[in-house]
A and B are shown apart, each in its own frame.
Chain A
Amino acid sequence: MDTKTEVLVIGGGSTGCGIARDLAMRGVAVTLVERGTLTDGTTGRMHGLLHSGGRYAVSDQESAAECITENRILREIAHHCVEPTGGLFVSKPGDSEEYFERKLSGCAACDIPTERLSGEQARAVEPYLAHDVERAIRVPDAAIDPFRLCVANAAAAREHGARIETHAEVTDLLLDGDRVVGVELAHENDTGQSVPTERIEAEHVVNATGAWAGQIGAMAGVDIAVRPSKGAMTVMNCRQVDTVINRCRPKGDADIIVPHETACILGTTDVEVDDPDDVPESQWEVESMIETLSELVPILDGARTLRSFWGVRPLYEPPETKTSDPTDITRQFFLLDHADRDGLAGLTSIVGGKLTTYRLMAERISDHICERLGVDAVCRTADVALPGSDNPMRLEDAMASFDLRSPIARRSIQRLGSRSSSVLSIDEPNPVICSCEAVTRAEVEDALSEVGTDLNAVRIRTRASMGNCQGCFCAHRMAALLHPDHTVETVRSSLDALYEERWRGQRHALWGEQLSQAMLTRFLHATTMNRAHSQTASSESIAFERFDGGDDRGD
Chain B
Amino acid sequence: MSDTDDTSSFDPVTVFEPTEQDLRSGSDDCYKCSTCDSVCPVAAVDSSFPGPKFQGPEQWRLTRKEDTEIDDSIMGCSNCMRCDGACPSSVPLSQMHNTARGAYVEQQRFASDAVAALRSGAFRRAASIVRDGVADFRERIRNRLLANYYTAGRFASKLPRVANAATNFGPTRWLLERVLGITSERSFPSFATQTFREWWADRGGSHVENPDKRVAYFHGCYANYNTPAVGKAMVRVFESFEYEVLVPQQRCSGTPMFANGRLDDAKRHAETNVESLAEAIADGAAVIASCTSCSMALREEYPELFDIDDIDAVSEHTYESLEYLRHNEDLDAVLSESSGDAEEYVYHAPCHARNQGLERQAVELFSSVDGVTIEDVGDSCSGISGTYGWKTEKYDNSMAIGDPMFTEMEAAAGEQGMTECPTCAMQMSHGTGYSITHPLELLADILTDDPSASSDR
Contact = CB atoms under 8 A, between A and B. Distances in A.
A468 B30 contact: yes
Contacts of B29: 304, 513
B67 interface: yes
A262 B22 contact: no
A123 interface: yes
B435 interface: no
Contacts of B60: 238
A238 B1 CA distance: 24
Contact of A127 (B10, B18, B33): B18
Find the residue from B22, B53, B89 having the highest chain A CB count within 10 A: B22
A237 B61 contact: yes
B18 A411 contact: no
Interface in A132-161: 138-140
Interface stretch (A72-80, A316-324, A365-373): A72-80
Contacts of A407: 58-59, 62-63, 67, 71
A123 B18 contact: yes
Given A436-B61, A468-B32, A79 B1 contact: yes
Contacts of A378: none
Contacts, number: 113
Contacts of B1: 75, 79, 82, 84
Interface string B23-52: 011011111110000000000000000100
A151 B354 CA distance: 51
B4 A75 contact: yes
A520 interface: yes
A243 interface: yes
A262 B61 contact: yes
A297 to B, nearest CB: 11
A135 B12 CA distance: 18
B54 A405 contact: yes
A76 B50 CA distance: 36
B64 interface: yes
A58 interface: no
A237 B27 contact: yes
- Category for how many chain A residues contact B: 35 or more
A238 B2 contact: no
Given A243-B12, A405-B73, A72 B4 contact: yes
A42 B232 CA distance: 74
A469 interface: yes
B452 interface: no
A405 B71 contact: yes
A189 interface: no
Interface string A232-251: 00000111101100000000
A171 interface: no
Contact of A303 (B6, B25, B62, B70): B25
Contact of A516 (B4, B70, B71, B89): B89
Contacts of B14: 124-125
Interface in A18-61: none
Nearest to A75: B1
A438 interface: yes
B18 A436 contact: no
A289 to B, nearest CB: 18
A243 to B, nearest CB: 6
Contact of B4 (A140, A240, A405, A468): A140
Given A113-B7, A239-B64, A405-B73, A86 B31 contact: no
Contacts of B327: none
A79 B60 CA distance: 24
A545 to B, nearest CB: 28
A85 interface: yes
Contact of A435 (B5, B24, B33, B53): B53
B5 A113 contact: yes
A272 to B, nearest CB: 35
Interface string B63-96: 1111101111100000000000000010000000
Contacts of A331: none
Nearest to A306: B28
B11 interface: yes
Nearest to B34: A473
Interface in A514-534: 516-517, 520
A309 to B, nearest CB: 19
A472 interface: yes
A411 B67 CA distance: 11
Nearest to B2: A76
B32 A473 contact: yes
Contacts of B58: 407, 435-436, 438
A406 interface: yes
A238 B89 CA distance: 17
B322 to A, nearest CB: 36
Contact of B2 (A75, A115, A138): A75
Contacts of A520: 31, 33
Contacts of B5: 113
Interface string A79-94: 1001011100000000
A71 interface: yes
B69 to A, nearest CB: 5
A166 interface: no
B61 A86 contact: no
B24 A239 contact: yes
Contact of B64 (A123, A127, A138, A242): A242
Find the residue from B28, B71, B89 having the highest chain A CB count within 10 A: B28
Contact of A262 (B7, B32, B62, B89): B62
A377 interface: no
Nearest to B64: A242
A436 B53 CA distance: 10
Nearest to B16: A127
Interface in A490-518: 513, 516-517
A299 interface: yes
Contacts of A79: 1
Nearest to A406: B71
A513 B88 CA distance: 12
B346 to A, nearest CB: 25
A290 B59 CA distance: 26
A294 interface: no
Interface in A424-448: 435-438
Contact of A86 (B11, B25, B62, B69): B11
A238 B12 contact: no
B28 A304 contact: yes
Nearest to B31: A517
B135 to A, nearest CB: 14
A408 B59 CA distance: 9
Given A242-B65, A405-B54, A436-B32, A71 B4 contact: yes
Nearest to B22: A127
A327 interface: no
Contacts of A332: none
Contacts of B66: 242
Nearest to A518: B31
Interface string A315-355: 00000000000000000000000000000000000000000
B31 A513 contact: yes
25 contacts: A71-B4, A72-B4, A75-B1, A75-B2, A79-B1, A86-B12, A113-B4, A125-B12, A125-B14, A127-B18, A140-B10, A237-B61, A238-B27, A238-B28, A239-B24, A262-B61, A405-B50, A405-B73, A406-B69, A468-B27, A469-B32, A472-B32, A513-B31, A513-B89, A516-B89
List the 6 closest A-B pairs by CB distance, nearest first.
A304-B28, A127-B18, A407-B62, A86-B10, A242-B65, A406-B71
Interface of B: 1-2, 4-7, 10-12, 14, 16, 18-19, 22, 24-25, 27-33, 50, 53-54, 58-67, 69-73, 89
Interface of A: 68, 71-72, 75-76, 79, 82, 84-86, 113-115, 123-125, 127, 138-140, 237-240, 242-243, 262, 299, 303-304, 405-408, 410-411, 435-438, 467-469, 472-473, 513, 516-517, 520
Given A125-B14, A242-B65, A513-B29, 4 more contacts: A127-B19, A299-B25, A405-B73, A468-B28
